[in-house]
Amino acid sequence: MKNYLDDTKSIPERVEDALSRMTVEEKVGMIHAQSKFSSAGVPRLGIPEIWTSDGPHGVRPEVLWDEWSQAGWTNDSCFAFPALTCLAASWDKNLSLLYGISLGEEARYRNKNVLLGPGVNIYRTPLNGRNFEYMGEDPYLSSKMVVPYIKGVQSNGVAACVKHFALNNQEVDRDKVNVNVDDRTLYEIYLPAFKAAVMEGGTWAIMGSYNLYKNEQCCHNQYLLNDILRKEWGFEGVVISDWGGAHNTLQSITNGLDMEFGTWAPGMAWGKTNNYDNYYLAKPYLAMIKSGEAGTKELDEKVRRILRLEFLTAMAKNKPFGAMVSEDHIAAGHKIATDGIVLLQNKYNVLPIDLSKAKKIAVIGENAVKMMTVGGGSSSLKAKYEISPLDGLKKRAGTQTEIVYARGYVGDASSTADGYSTGQDLKETRSADELLTEAVNLAKGADYVIFVGGLNKSEHQDSEGADRLGLELPYNQDKLISELAKVNKNLVVVNISGNAVAMPWVNEVPAIIQGWFLGSEAGNAIAAVLAGDVNPSGKLPFTFPVKLNDNGAHALGEYPGSNGQVTYNEGIFVGYRWTDKQKIKPLFSFGHGLSYTTFEYGKVTADKKEMNDADKITFTVTIKNTGTREGSEIVQLYISDLKSSLPRPVKELKGFEKVNLKAGEEKVVSITVDKAALSFFDADKHNWVAEAGDFEALIGASSADVRSKVGFKLK
H or E segment and range at residue 96 = helix 93-109
> How confident is the model over 26-68, as pLDDT tens digits?
999 999 999 999 999 999 999 999 999 998 999 999 999 988 8
Where does a domain end: 541, 571, 586?
541
Say whether both 273 and 347 belong to one domain: no
Other C-beta atoms within 10 Å of 6: how many? 10
Confidence band of 273 (pLDDT split at 50, 70, 90): low
In this structure, are 279 and 181 located in the same domain?
yes
Chain center to CA of 348? 33
What pLDDT, on a 0 to 100 scale, did the predictor assign at position 3?
43
Residues 147 and 141 sit within 8 Å (Cβ to Cβ): no
pLDDT at site 2: 37
User: Nearest 10 degrees: CA dihedral of 457, 459, 460, 463?
Assistant: 50
Same domain, 207 and 286: yes
What is Dmax (Cα atoms) for the chain? 84
Characterize the bridge pairing of strands 178-180 and 565-567.
parallel
* 400 belongs to a structural domain: yes
What distance in Å separates the CA atoms of residue 608 and residue 695, rounded to the nearest whole number?
Answer: 13
Selecting among 92, 242, 339, 462, the annotated active-site residue is 242
For the domain that residue 683 is a member of, what is the CATH number?
2.60.40.10
Cα-based distances in Å from 421 to 110, 373, 375, 425:
21, 11, 10, 10
Q: pTM for the whole thing?
A: 0.97
Put residue 547 in one of left, alpha, beta given phi > 0 → left and psi -120 to 50 → alpha: beta
The separation between CA 296 and the C-alpha centre of its own chain, rounded to angstroms, equals 37
Domain that holds residue 416: 341-541
Query: Cβ of 631: how many Cβ atoms within 10 Å?
Result: 21
Asked if 206 and 91 sit in the same domain, the reply is yes
Q: For residue range 359-418, what is the model confidence (pLDDT) as tens digits?
A: 999 999 999 999 999 999 999 999 999 999 999 999 999 999 999 999 999 998 887 887
CA pair distance 259, 281, nearest whole angstrom: 8
DSSP annotation of 690: -
Query: For residue 522, is it within any domain?
Result: yes
CATH code for position 503: 3.40.50.1700
Given this model, what pLDDT does residue 111 score? 97
Establish if 574 belongs to a structural domain: no
- As a whole number, the mean pLDDT across the chain is 96
Q: Return the pLDDT at 4.
A: 40
Contacts of 643 (CB under 8 A, 6+ apart): 693, 694
Using left for φ > 0, alpha for ψ between -120 and 50, and beta otherwise, residue 638 falls in beta
* Structure confidence at residue 265 (pLDDT): 64
Q: Report, as an integer, the average pLDDT of 609-637.
A: 96
Residue 8's pLDDT is: 64
pLDDT the model gives residue 422:
84
Please indicate, yes or no, whether residues 43 and 83 belong to a single structural domain of this protein. yes
User: Percentage of residues in the chain with pLDDT exceeding 70?
Assistant: 97
Task: Tell me, yes or no, whether 248 and 368 share the same domain.
Answer: no
Q: What pLDDT score was predicted for residue 169?
A: 98
Question: Domain count of the chain?
Answer: 3
309: pLDDT strictly greater than 90:
yes
The answer to the question of residue 546 being in a domain is: no
Does residue 647 lie in a domain region? yes
The enclosing H or E element of 701 equals strand 693-702
Q: What percent of the chain has pLDDT over 90?
A: 93
Residues 616 and 690 placed together within one structural domain of the fold: yes
- Number of alpha carbons in the 13 Å side-chain half-sphere of residue 433: 0
Residue 411, domain member (yes or no)? yes
- pLDDT for 222: 98
The predicted structure's pLDDT at residue 266: 60
Same domain membership, residue 261 and residue 402: no
Active site includes 17? no
Q: With cut-offs at 50, 70 and 90, classify the pLDDT of residue 557.
A: confident
Domain boundary residue, one of 541, 564, 590: 541
In this predicted structure, the answer to whether residue 148 has a pLDDT above a threshold of 80 is yes
pLDDT 10s digits, 461-477: 999 999 999 999 999 99
What is the DSSP code (8-state) at residue 85?
H
CA–CA gap between residue 209 and residue 240 (Å, rounded): 10
Instruction: Convert 301-353 into a string of H (helix), E (strand) and C (coil).
Output: HHHHHHHHHHHHCCCCCCCCCCCCCCHHHHHHHHHHHHHHCEEEEEHHHCCCC
> What is the CATH number for 103?
3.20.20.300
Rounded to whole angstroms, the Cα distance separating 109 from 154 reads: 13
Does 586 fall in a domain?
no
Q: Do 497 and 630 have their domain in common?
A: no
200 and 159 both lie in a single domain: yes
